[in-house]
Amino acid sequence: ETGVTQSPTHLIKTRGQQVTLRCSSQSGHNTVSWYQQALGQGPQFIFQYYREEENGRGNFPPRFSGLQFPNYSSELNVNALELDDSALYLCASSLVGLAVQETQYFGPGTRLLVL
């Protein structure tokens, strides 16, 4: 186990709804990254938070937003859900930022199904 937890484990929503996914990072880690992984594909980077501020963003629309809290836990919010948002959402924590040879520790993921 990596010490990174995510909730909920599974979620079913309908198109147009909003969803909030949560992540608790490993103790001592101050950076959280979120990924979307469609079935049979590699993870796609959504964004990264470092010390409560967005530190980088992938090619995702603004309806994907996030927060990082003082205890370094994080939320991913998705508004106006679309069918294509159905995926495994992964949270990864690391220390300081994405430096050379720094390892990201992944949580078990949240499986989101949009109907």
| φ, ψ (nearest 5 deg) of residue 96 | 80, -50
Which residues contact another protein (rule: CB under 8 A)? 2, 4, 40-45, 48, 55-56, 58, 88, 90-92, 97-98, 100-101, 103-109, 111
Q: How far is the CB of 91 from another protein (least distance, A)?
A: 8
- Identity of residue 105: Y
Q: Given the complex with another protein, which of 80 and 96 has the nearer CB atom? A: 96
Q: How far apart are alpha carbons 73 and 52 in whole angstroms? A: 9
Structural contact between residues 106 and 23, judged by C-beta atoms closer than 8 angstroms = no
Closest CA to 43 of 5, 11, 91, 75: 91
Q: Least separation, in Å, of the C-beta of 18 and another protein? A: 24
Q: Which is nearer to another protein, 66 or 107 (CB)?
A: 107
Q: Token pair for residue 99? A: 């430096």
Distance CA 69, CA 20 (A): 14
CB of 100 to another protein, least distance (A): 6
Closer residue to another protein (CB): 19 or 26: 26
For residue 16, the minimal CB distance to another protein (Å) is 27
Rank residues 28 and 40 by Cβ distance to another protein and give the closer one: 40
